[in-house]
Amino acid sequence: MTFIVSFGGMMIIARLLSPVEVGINAIAVAGLGVVQIIATMGLAGYIIRDTDLQPATLDLTFSVNGVLAVILSVLLLALSMVSKPLLGDVRAGAVLRILAFTPLINAFAFRASAMLQREMRFKAFGLITAGMTIVSTLLTVGLAWVGQSYMSAAYGGVGGAIFGAIAFNLVAPHHASLRITFQGWRAVAQFGLQIMSISGLATLATRLSDLILGRVLGIAALGIYSRASMTSSMIFENVYGTTTRVAFTKLARDYRETGELRPTFLRAIGLILAFMWPLEIGLAILSPPAIYLFYGEKWLDAALPLSLLLIAQAVVLSYGMNWELFVLRDETARQSRLEFIRTFFGFAIFTIGCQFGLAGAALGKVGDASAGYLLYRNHVRALAELRGNELGIVFARSALLTVIATAPALVLMIVYRWDPRTPLPLVAGAVMSGMTLWLIALVAMRHPLAEEGARIATRIHPRLGALMRREQRSAQ
């Protein structure tokens, strides 16, 4: 639901705003990301992983998070006053002044949202986050429609945050509290600083990259790149992000109860890759007609960057869930060192790539992802206590599913020479053929994703679930 609403909103916004208008908002968001490094302390993760959570710990994390929110808001207001010399466009300052309200609003949702995840109340959490997306998207589209231009997304973000703060506290009122304490803050600060050095560095590099791209190639080029980046990020966050939130909570629970991560990790990464690799590589192949269909002709220059960014994300998935493993094993200090190396290399190669246009910049992201794989692969295996070639088998099965699922699209685009105006019925036919072949392969391979599909189908309708299980037994 969230994905559909987000994507639908992006389609409409792309037809209402120009690349320059999108570029202005992207500059403001890049400025936000640079300042926001102080708020990437992962305090919700601290609550989720705690083996014996006490009320005082919840009060402490809420208090620290609140202080960070105030500091972030003040810094955003200060940055908005000097947006011309620092960000390159005075119009970005107006966007930042509105965005400065969101950290303060989000602070009031922190306790309830973190506890819903710890308690594995994912249905409630998912409905609220979906509601936030719907409110934000509807406001953004409506305001863009009436002429609010690049300001519309900022207003929409504030509206979504207000909805979330109210909804989280209504759904979990027993977790709502404004108790302030800083007793025992050193343990939280140590954890937060380590997470900041991991997540914060990645965020900082990404946003600085956007600013550099805007400076080197211009605001319109940044708008084009931002359209590709937002599309790939939307897919990644809505699918991978949602899945790993559930997986992290289950990993934390299993680790608390059994002291073991291996079975849960292998199943989770297998499910993720079997779905995400075909999705991302398939869209990378079909990006020219996809961009033309969904966003219109003025955004066609985003097709090649989108393909490369999706390939980069597919590489990132090969060492996915690394953050969860490092946090649960209390190895965040080691990950911070690895992330510093990866970020330094990735930022350098992206900066060089910008000199060769949008494709060069996106190719830099592929290099960044590849460096991450080389750095993290052995650590992931060790932390998850994997045996032999278990992860390699997961990769091979997922790669085979990807080839099977994307073959029809690849053949079609080769025949039509990657023409963005490839007939829509043929594109739809290639997608449906790939999905059918993928489903058949899942059942034939007795893949865990087929089992999950049967469980979901049973919830929808018992007969549908029984039919899927019967197909799996016949394949065996």
**CA–CA separation, 264 vs 29, rounded Å?**
36
Pair of tokens at residue 306: 């989108």
Pair of tokens at residue 426: 């043929």
**CA–CA separation, 16 vs 145, rounded Å?**
7
User: Which amino acid is located at 341 in the chain?
Assistant: I
**CA–CA separation, 59 vs 65, rounded Å?**
10
Give me the pLDDT at residue 102, please.
92
**CA–CA separation, 135 vs 218, rounded Å?**
31
Pair of tokens at residue 31: 């400025």
**CA–CA separation, 204 vs 33, rounded Å?**
6
Residue 400 has pLDDT above 80, yes or no: yes
Res. 458 pLDDT band, cuts 50 70 90: low
Q: Calculate helix-pair angle for 91-99, 19-35, nearest 10 degrees.
A: 50
Computed over every residue of the chain, the mean pLDDT equals 87
Mean pLDDT, residues 144-169: 93
Residue count of the chain: 476
Q: Dihedral sign, CA of 116, 118, 120, 123?
A: positive
Give me the pLDDT at residue 83, please.
86
Phi and psi at 176, nearest 5°, equal -75, 130
- Kindly report, residue by residue over 14-57, the tens digit of the pLDDT: 888 889 999 998 889 888 887 777 666 677 777 877 777 788 88
Residue 326 has pLDDT above 70, yes or no: yes
Give me the pLDDT at residue 415, please.
96
**CA–CA separation, 98 vs 151, rounded Å?**
9
pTM: predicted TM-score of the whole model, two decimal places: 0.80
* Beta strands per DSSP E along 26-160: none
From residue 18, alpha-carbon distances to 95, 234, 291, 296 in Å are: 16, 20, 15, 11
**CA–CA separation, 270 vs 187, rounded Å?**
34
- Kindly report, residue by residue over 192-239, the tens digit of the pLDDT: 777 776 666 677 777 888 888 988 898 899 999 999 998 998 888 878
Give me the pLDDT at residue 235, please.
84
Q: Are 343 and 199 in contact (CB under 8 A)?
A: no
Give me the pLDDT at residue 464, please.
47
Residue 257 has pLDDT above 70, yes or no: yes
Give the percent of the chain with pLDDT over 90: 45
Residue 157 has pLDDT above 80, yes or no: yes
Instruction: Please enumerate in sequence order all residues whose Cβ is within 8 A of that of 6, keeping only pairs 6 or more positions apart, or say none.
Output: 133, 137, 234, 238
Res. 459 pLDDT band, cuts 50 70 90: low
Give me the pLDDT at residue 352, please.
92
Instruction: Please enumerate in sequence order all residues whose Cβ is within 8 A of that of 165, keeping only pairs 6 or more positions apart, or say none.
Output: 105, 106, 108, 109
From residue 427, alpha-carbon distances to 111, 227, 286, 419 in Å are: 46, 22, 8, 11
State the DSSP string of 148-211: -GGGHHHHHHHHHHHHHHHHHHHH-GGG-------TTHHHHHHHHHHHIIIIIHHHHHHHHHHH
Mean pLDDT, residues 297-318: 95
From residue 263, alpha-carbon distances to 45, 259, 266, 373, 442 in Å are: 21, 11, 5, 22, 20
Mean pLDDT, residues 72-87: 89
Residue 271 has pLDDT above 60, yes or no: yes
Domain-by-domain residue ranges, the chain? 1-183, 218-445
Q: Calculate helix-pair angle for 19-35, 201-217, nearest 10 degrees.
A: 140
Closest residue by Cα to residue 415 from 426, 402, 404: 426
Top mean pLDDT of 148-152, 207-211, 304-308, 347-351 is at 304-308
Q: Are 319 and 372 in contact (CB under 8 A)?
A: yes
Please tell me the chain's helix, strand, coil percentages from 3-state DSSP, rounded to the nearest 5.
85, 0, 15
- Kindly report, residue by residue over 94-150, the tens digit of the pLDDT: 999 999 999 999 999 988 998 888 887 878 888 898 899 899 999 999 999 998 999
> Token pair 């029809």 is at which residue?
408
> Token pair 């209390």 is at which residue?
330
**CA–CA separation, 170 vs 189, rounded Å?**
29
